[in-house]
Amino acid sequence: MRLTVFWQRMADHFGDAYADSFARDYVMSELGGRTVHQALADGWDAKDVWRGVCAAVDVPADKR
């Protein structure tokens, strides 16, 4: 998954204003105790990060 697709999915789910805030502040066990930004900076694949977000906040199946 390209980062542009990842960020579009984040914006679609959380809204443009909240997506970056969530990605910066919300620490998820699904990402090994990292935020989205930390996981991506640590080299996690965007698809794996998206899966972690989906699991953490229960994204509906049609948006996964």
In tens, the pLDDT along 22-61 reads 999 999 999 999 999 999 999 999 999 999 999 999 888 8
CA distances from 27 to 24, 32, 33, 62 (A): 8, 9, 6, 24
pLDDT tens per residue across span 2-27 = 999 999 999 999 999 899 999 999 99
Q: How far apart are CA 1 and CA 47, in angstroms?
A: 5
| Domain assignment of residue 55, given as a range | 3-63
Q: How far apart are CA 3 and CA 18, in angstroms?
A: 17
For the chain, the domain total comes to 1
For tokens 């579009």, name the residue: 8
